[in-house]
Amino acid sequence: MSRRRTSSGGYSPRKVNTREIRQRFLIVCEGEKTEPNYFRSFRVPKNVAEIDVKGLGENPSKLVNSAKELKQQEEYDQVWCVFDRDAWTPEDFNNAIKKAESQGFKVAYSNEAFELWYVLHFEFLNTGIPRSDYLQKLNLHLNRKYQKNSETIYDELFEKQATAIRNAINLLNQYNPPTPAKDNPSTTVHLLVQELNKFVQ
């Protein structure tokens, strides 16, 4: 934290404005369209931060390996791996999280599906439900049929984003200690959202 001189000659702390710091994000997603379309919608000016989003269509472990390869090719300040529990084995899911963290990467996971993050914009959900039920809930909340690869969902949900973050935090707090592969429902997508929001203008 930097400090500025006061009129009395002393110093007071002054927060560094994160918007003055250019950051490079690499966000690798398990999904090829749903998650990339969402994260590409954040209004982050290129002179403030550069966001490189890739939808790779790989299982969690392969996704982390791909992130490692991409990080070796270019310099990034933050690397995020975005993947769901879905039908992947608990071993693959948990190992991918551990492997990512060992590389210094951050993980935005969802158990069971990314759409949980969307549902949390409307309601607090702490009961495990089938993936298809997420879609039914979104149909009701949106008053239309939810389009999985929507390019407008970020804007549609934006005003409720603070609610989603609060619900996601409360949900994670219910698991002590957390065991991501078993904690259904749970998500850490809000951590990535909060990080990107530091650079939104």
CATH number for the domain spanning 165: value is 3.40.50
Overall domain count for the chain:
1
Let me know if residue 12 belongs to a domain: no
Model confidence, pTM: 0.88
Task: Inform me whether the pLDDT recorded for 17 exceeds 80.
Answer: no
- pLDDT at 121 > cutoff 50: yes
Structure confidence at residue 20 as a pLDDT band (50, 70, 90): low
In a domain, 8, yes or no: no
Q: DSSP string spanning the chain? A: -EEEE-TTS-EEEE---GGGS-EEEEEEESSSSHHHHHHTTS---TTTEEEEEEE----HHHHHHHHHHHHHHS--SEEEEEEE-TTS-HHHHHHHHHHHHHTT-EEEEEES-THHHHHTTT----S---HHHHHHHHHHHHTS---TT-SSHHHHHGGGHHHHHHHHHHHHTTSSS--TTT-SSEE-HHHHHHHHHTT--
Residue type, 193: V
- Pick the residue with more confidence: 87 or 137? 137
* pLDDT confidence tier of residue 201, bands split at 50, 70 and 90: confident
Domain of residue 100: give its range.
Answer: 20-197
Structure-block tokens of residue 16: 């560094």
